[in-house]
């Protein structure tokens, strides 16, 4: 009998906070500026410089904790995490250890199959400073260090080992990203590294409650890589265990070019970092009223909005999930419904045509050249029969590309739907006359030829014929009436 293995995954997600200035000094957090241009004695770790906490960074962390159902610690403090690396000028990172800002929360994930909801525990959310960046490319036997990022406020969101598959891990990550973007504390830009993820993964025989030896995976900056790296690691660990080899507790790197993980170093234990309370910063005790005030400022979150979209607009689970994945997308949808669009139609157009065009241009919904009012105008023209559904796609494309109104495009390109029985009747008479063979076979019972006639009629009217009318007239005329 072969043993079946279960996967156990926990994620540590690092999110850069959207503050204007760094966590302990007034330097800008702007991305992409010349190396070391956004630095000062504090973030370059000069002796004698002292950190001062950025209140907004703490506020954002509390806001995140509340949005993820955590308890906010009444007493919290920073700790020094000591390690040596060239991108860390002080020789220690100011982080949190035994007293993080937030503890014991959870988020719900939807796992796709049947939209089952699973609750994933959040162990803690703490605040820390980011390190700089080493640059090894370039001429000569040199490496460089850019400290612009050093001191950027970073939140570490640590999950419980509640995730059971790579798919769940990426669903969890997506949910975190959605929440962070909804509450405006992180831009979620994975390419620029604003959102990064380390994963702890182990396997154990199904039914066992003991955790296996875990491996830490680093360097995953896309949902796709998270899934791929975890899938690879499950295979690697399963075959090792089946061959009687022991899993070594270590840190492994995901290599996007080979599609494999490889050992980087043996995993550090907490005691390797010699944590101790940060003596340069006082502990902090967020006032209850302040926490309440932050709570009141949290907008409707993706889960609540999804449930409301289903109840209020009659959308399917899938549509509601997709539309609420981004706040701006959900706003766009709601705006079009408010302006009179039928919810299902609006949802179809947004997720179909609009998303296709936005993806083609590589832009977000916020940058869409088309506003909800434009879609509503188009839908009204379809409802009134002015244009057919097929032509509507051409018009939509034109509206998006030229920013002209639907009316303007229809007039300019002569796209008004042909619904006149006389005009369409004449077209159909010609088609029947031009295709005596097909007509004969259809009349003899070859029903599937009906599509051929519809196609001919649409072609003859260059897609502008009213499809319902064409169907009706064809039925009549082919029957010989
Ligand atoms: Zn600075």
Q: How far is the CA of 176 from the centre of ligand 1 (A)?
A: 29
Closest C-alpha among 280, 194, 197 to residue 19:
194
Domains of the chain: 5-293 (no CATH), 300-413 (no CATH), 421-478 (1.10.10.410)
pLDDT under 70: residue ranges of the chain: 1, 112-115, 139, 267-270, 481
DSSP result, 57-117: HHHHHHHHHHHTTPEEPSSB--EEEE---TT-TTSEEEE--SS-SEEEEEEEEE-SGGG-E
Residues near 75 by beta carbon (within 8 Å), at least 6 away in sequence: 99, 283, 284, 285
pLDDT of residue 267: 63
pLDDT of residue 361: 93
Q: How far is the CA of 132 from the centre of ligand 1 (A)?
A: 12
> Each residue of 385-437: pLDDT tens digit?
778 778 888 888 888 988 888 888 888 877 777 777 888 888 888 899 899 89
Determine the Cα–Cα distance for residues 320 and 330; give it in Å rounded to an integer: 9
Pairing of strands 195-205, 215-220: antiparallel
Q: How far is the CA of 358 from the centre of ligand 1 (A)?
A: 38
Report the 10 Å Cβ neighbour count for 9: 26
pLDDT of residue 203: 93
> Each residue of 13-40: pLDDT tens digit?
999 999 999 999 999 999 889 999 999 9
Alpha-carbon dihedral sign for residues 372, 377, 380, 385 = negative
Q: How far is the CA of 84 from the centre of ligand 1 (A)?
A: 20
> Position of tokens 């706003």?
331
pLDDT of residue 115: 65
Determine the Cα–Cα distance for residues 124 and 158; give it in Å rounded to an integer: 5
Q: How far is the CA of 37 from the centre of ligand 1 (A)?
A: 10
pLDDT of residue 416: 74
Q: How far is the CA of 151 from the centre of ligand 1 (A)?
A: 7
> Position of tokens 């770790």?
45
pLDDT of residue 281: 96
Q: How far is the CA of 50 from the centre of ligand 1 (A)?
A: 11
pLDDT of residue 112: 65
142 backbone φψ class: left, alpha, beta (φ>0; ψ -120 to 50): beta
């Amino acid at each position: 009998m072969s043993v079946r293995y279960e996967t156990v995954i926990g994620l540590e997600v690092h999110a850069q906070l959207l503050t204007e200035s760094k966590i302990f000094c007034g330097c800008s957090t702007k991305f992409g500026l010349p190396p070391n241009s956004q630095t000062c004695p504090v973030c370059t770790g000069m002796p004698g410089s002292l950190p001062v906490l950025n209140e907004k960074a703490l506020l954002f962390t509390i806001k995140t904790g509340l949005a993820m159902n955590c308890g906010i610690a009444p007493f919290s403090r920073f700790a020094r995490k000591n390690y040596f690396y060239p991108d860390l000028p002080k020789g220690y990172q100011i982080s949190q250890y035994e007293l993080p800002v937030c503890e014991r929360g959870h988020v719900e994930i939807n796992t796709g199959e049947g939209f089952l909801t699973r609750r994933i525990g959040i162990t803690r959310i703490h605040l820390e400073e980011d390190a700089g960046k080493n640059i090894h490319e370039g001429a000569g036997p040199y490496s460089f260090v850019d400290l612009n990022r050093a001191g950027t406020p970073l939140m570490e969101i640590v999950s419980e080992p509640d995730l059971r598959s790579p798919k769940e891990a990426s669903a969890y990550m997506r949910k975190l990203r959605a929440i962070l973007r909804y509450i405006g504390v992180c831009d979620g830009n994975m390419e620029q590294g604003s959102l990064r993820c380390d994963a702890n993964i182990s396997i154990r025989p199904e039914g066992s409650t003991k955790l296996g030896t875990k491996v830490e995976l680093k360097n995953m900056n896309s949902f796709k890589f998270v899934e791929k790296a975890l899938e690879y690691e499950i295979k690697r660990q399963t075959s090792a265990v089946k061959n009687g080899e022991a899993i070594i507790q270590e840190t492994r790197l995901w290599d996007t070019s080979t599609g494999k993980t490889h050992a980087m170093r043996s995993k550090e234990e907490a005691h390797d970092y010699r944590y101790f309370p940060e003596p340069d910063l006082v502990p902090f005790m967020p006032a209850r009223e302040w926490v309440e005030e932050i709570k009141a400022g949290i907008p409707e979150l993706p889960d609540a909005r999804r449930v409301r979209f289903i109840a209020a607009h009659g959308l399917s689970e899938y549509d509601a999930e997709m539309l609420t994945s981004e706040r701006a997308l959900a706003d766009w949808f709601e705006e079009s419904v408010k302006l009179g669009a039928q919810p299902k139609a609006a949802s179809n157009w947004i997720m179909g045509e609009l998303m296709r065009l936005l993806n083609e241009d590589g832009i977000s919904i916020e940058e869409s050249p088309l506003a909800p009012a434009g879609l509503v105008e188009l839908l009204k023209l379809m409802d009134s029969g002015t244009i057919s559904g097929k032509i509507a796609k051409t018009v939509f494309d034109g509206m998006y590309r030229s920013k002209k109104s639907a009316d303007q495009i229809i007039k300019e390109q002569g796209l008004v739907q042909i619904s006149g029985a006389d005009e369409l009747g004449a077209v159909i008479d010609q088609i029947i006359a031009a295709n005596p063979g097909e007509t004969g076979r259809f009349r003899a019972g070859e029903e599937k030829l009906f599509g051929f006639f519809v196609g001919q009629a649409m072609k003859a009217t260059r897609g502008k014929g009213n499809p319902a009318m064409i169907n009706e007239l064809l039925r009549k005329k082919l029957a010989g009436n």
